[in-house]
Amino acid sequence: MAVPDDRAAPASVIERRSIDYIPDAERHGRLFSQFTLWLGANLQITAIVTGALAVVLGGDVFWSLIGLFIGQLIGGGVMALHAAQGPKLGLPQMISSRVQFGVYGAVIPLVLVCLMYIGFSASGSLLAGQAVAQLINVPDWQGVVIFAAAIVVLTILGYRVIHMIGRVASVIGVIAFVYLFAALLAGNDVGALLGNKHFSLSSFLLAISLSASWQIAFGPYVADYSRYLPRSTSAGKTFWAVGLGSVIGAQASMVFGVFAAALAGKNFAHHEVSFIVGLGGTGAVAAALYFSIAFGKVTITTLNAYGSFMSIATIVSGFRGNRHISSALRLTYIFAMVGIATALALLGKDSFLKDFSAFILFLLAFFTPWSAINLVDFYCITKERYDIPALSDPNGRYGRWNGMGIGIYVLGVLIQMPFISTHFYTGPLVASLDDTDISWIIGLIVPAVLYYVAAKTWPGNVADRLILPTEQNASPASGSVAPAHVEVN
C-alpha cells in the first residue's frame, strides 16, 4: 500500500481531507476552540425544545431541571471520552469502529448513525427555517430551503470554517441567552414554578434520558472535530474542553426550555420559535432573536451534515479498500444527505414535538451499545494501540466482520427492547416499572461488561503499539510492522 504524503499542505479555506488520517504536519488548533464549538453547538433552539419536552411530557419544573442535569453529566462524560480519541488517532470517530466490528461489520452502526444525522438535521432545519421565515417574512418552507442551502455551502468548506462558525455562534448564543433569561426572570414568577413539586419517577428518568440521549448522540462524530489537534494534546484536557462546552451549553438551553414550556402550556407545541422570541420582545429585538436562533442552528446542523458525509464516505471506503474521496463524490454525498433531511423537515413540520421526542429516545437503543463497546475497547482492551493502516484492509488485522463485537452490539440493542417507552413502541416490561424507561441504562452497562469479559477471554489481534500510516514498512495485510518508527515530514 502506498504511504500517504505527510508533508505540510498550504492552509486552505476548503478542507482537502475527508476520512483519511491527519498527519502531524497538518495538525493545528487549540483546546479552547473545542470548548467554543460545543458550547455554540448546544446553545440553540433544538436543545431548548429537548429540555421543554421534560415538561411537555408530564414532568414538573423542579425535578425536570435536576433530571436533565444528571443526564448531562452521564451523557457528557460518554461523549467527551469519544472526543479524547481524536488527537491520538487523527481519524474521524466511526472509522475506528472497524476495530470492534470489522472493516465491513462497521457498516452496521454506521447506517444507524446516518439515520441519526438525517433526523437531527431535519429537526434543526425545521426550527431554523421558522426563524429564517420570520426574519425575512417568507413562508416557513422557503425559510427551511434557504437554511439548507447555507448548510450545504458551509459543509463543503469543512473543518476550519466549522470551527470559526462555532466561535461566532458561541458569542451570539451567550448574548441571546443572557438576554432571554433576563427577560424571563423579570416578567414571570419563576419561584412559583420551582415551588410546584410533584415527583414522579417515570418523569424524572425521562428527563435524565432526554439529556443523556442528547449528549450520547454526539458520540459518533465528536472525534471528527478533535482529530486535527496536535497528537501531543492531553486526552484529559480534550475531555474537559469538549465535555464542559457541551454540558454547559446544553444545560443552559434545556433549563430555558423547561421554563418556557411551563409558562406556555399548550401554546408551546407548533409555535416553539415564536413563543420563545415573544418572551424577549418585539420589533428590532425580535428580529435580532430570530437571527440568533437561525445562526445558532447553523453550527449543529453543519456538524450533522459534515458528519453524514463522513459516515457515508466511511461506508463506501470500507468496501472500496481506500479512504480517498474525490471532491465530486464529496459534493454528491453532502447534497444527498442535506436534501433528504430538508424533505423530512418539510413533511414532518406539523407533528414535530411528538415525533422528535420519540426519535431521540429510541435513538438511545442503538447508540448506547455502540458507545459502550467502542469506549471499553479503546480504553481497556486495545489501550489506544490501533493499527491505522489495517482499518482500510479487509484482509488485515481486523478482518471483514468481527462476530464478537457485532454479536454483543446486537444483543445490546435487543436487550433494551422490553424497557423502551415511546409513543410508537412500548416494551412489555415498561408497565411493571411504572411506565419508566430504563432501556438506555441497560444498553450502556450490559454491552460494556459483556465486551470486556469476552475480549479478555478471547483476545483478538491487538497491536503492540499505535501504528500510523506514515510508517514506511507497515504491512496492513499481516497487521505487523518493522520495529523502526519512520514518519515522512
Q: Is 86 left (phi over 0), alpha (psi -120 to 50) or beta?
A: alpha
Confidence of residue 445 (pLDDT cuts 50, 70, 90): very high
pLDDT in tens, 352-362: 555 665 666 67
Q: What is the mean pLDDT of residues 326-351?
A: 76
Q: What is the pLDDT of residue 73?
A: 96
Q: What is the pLDDT of residue 481?
A: 41
Cβ-in-10-Å burial (0-12, 13-18, 19+) of 434 comes to exposed
Q: What is the pLDDT of residue 323?
A: 58
pLDDT in tens, 147-194: 888 888 877 776 677 778 778 888 888 888 888 888 888 877 778 878
Residue with cell 469502529: 97
Reply yes or no on whether the pLDDT at 219 is more than 50. yes
Q: What is the pLDDT of residue 2?
A: 40
61 φ, ψ (degrees, to nearest 5): -70, -50
Residue 445: other Cβ atoms inside 10 A: 13
Q: Which residue has the higher pLDDT, 393 or 264?
A: 393
pLDDT in tens, 21-54: 778 887 877 888 889 889 888 888 778 888 888 8
Please give the model's pTM, rounded to 2 decimal places. Answer: 0.80
Q: What is the pLDDT of residue 185?
A: 80
pLDDT in tens, 451-487: 999 999 888 788 888 888 866 444 444 444 433 333 3
Distance between CA atoms of residues 127 and 45, nearest Å? 7
Q: What is the pLDDT of residue 10?
A: 47
Q: Which residue has the higher pLDDT, 68 or 341?
A: 68
Distances (CA, A) of 370 to 67, 324, 405: 24, 25, 9
Q: What is the mean pLDDT of residues 97-126?
A: 83
Compute the mean pLDDT over every residue in the chain, rounded to the nearest whole number: 80
Taking only Cα atoms into account, the Rg of the chain, rounded to an integer number of angstroms, comes to: 22
Q: What is the mean pLDDT of residues 278-284?
A: 73
Reply yes or no on whether the pLDDT at 100 is more than 70. yes
Q: Which residue has the higher pLDDT, 406 or 344?
A: 406
Contact 78, 246 (CB under 8 A): no
On the CB side of 213, CA atoms within 13 Å amount to 29
* Percentage above 90 pLDDT, the chain: 18
Q: What is the pLDDT of residue 487?
A: 34
Confidence of residue 3 (pLDDT cuts 50, 70, 90): very low
Q: What is the pLDDT of residue 14?
A: 62
Q: Where are the alpha helices (DSSP H) in 348-472?
A: 352-376, 403-414, 439-457
Distance between CA atoms of residues 241 and 7, nearest Å? 29
426: β partners: 421
Contact 300, 221 (CB under 8 A): no
Q: What is the pLDDT of residue 478?
A: 41
Contact 102, 399 (CB under 8 A): yes
Q: Which residue has the higher pLDDT, 448 or 488?
A: 448
Confidence of residue 285 (pLDDT cuts 50, 70, 90): confident
Reply yes or no on whether the pLDDT at 401 is more than 50. yes
- Enumerate domains of the chain plus CATH numbers: 28-367 (1.10.4160.10)
Contact 177, 256 (CB under 8 A): yes
16 φ, ψ (degrees, to nearest 5): -100, -15
Q: Which residue has the higher pLDDT, 323 or 468?
A: 468
Q: Where are the alpha helices (DSSP H) in 158-282?
A: 159-187, 190-195, 201-216, 235-264, 272-280
Contact 39, 267 (CB under 8 A): no
Would you state the torsion angle of the CA atoms of residues 200, 204, 210, 212, taken in this order, to the nearest 10 degrees? -160
Cβ-in-10-Å burial (0-12, 13-18, 19+) of 6 comes to middle
pLDDT in tens, 233-275: 999 999 999 999 999 999 998 998 898 888 877 666 666 677 7
Reply yes or no on whether the pLDDT at 380 is more than 70. yes
Q: Which amino acid is at 347?
A: L
Q: What is the pLDDT of residue 16?
A: 64
Q: What is the pLDDT of residue 366?
A: 83
Distance between CA atoms of residues 418 and 428, nearest Å? 5
Q: 377-400 burial string, b = 16+ CB within 10 Å, else e?
A: bbeebbeeebbbbbbbbbebbbbb
Q: Which amino acid is at 379?
A: Y
- Closest Cα to residue 343, out of 133, 129, 188? 129
Beta strands (DSSP E) in 347-422 are: none
Q: What is the pLDDT of residue 4?
A: 42
Cβ-in-10-Å burial (0-12, 13-18, 19+) of 278 comes to middle
